[in-house]
Amino acid sequence: MKTIIENNVLPPESYVAEIDGNVRSAYGIFIEALKAGMELKQKFPHSHIKVHDLDETGASFSSRLQSSINSSAQ
């Protein structure tokens, strides 16, 4: 099963988890994004993890999402 990011479809209310400024995943429920952020912090304790709603990323979200998809495909 593909994730939301792999399908390039975001729920109407989206929350994202970022690692070092790169969007890692997107969720429709904040608590799920927070859980993912906490798991990332456990895996990568020295990285900067940020969980926030889609509005904070602004218009650049689409380009950042696409670059995250491209970098994880490599």
Per residue in 38-53, pLDDT tens? 999 999 999 999 998 8
HSE at residue 23, side-chain half, CA atoms within 13 A, is: 28
Q: What percent of the chain has pLDDT over 90?
A: 32
Q: Is the pLDDT of residue 64 over 80?
A: no
20 conformational bin, left if phi > 0, alpha if psi -120 to 50, beta if neither = left
Cβ atoms of residues 60 and 21 within 8 Å: no
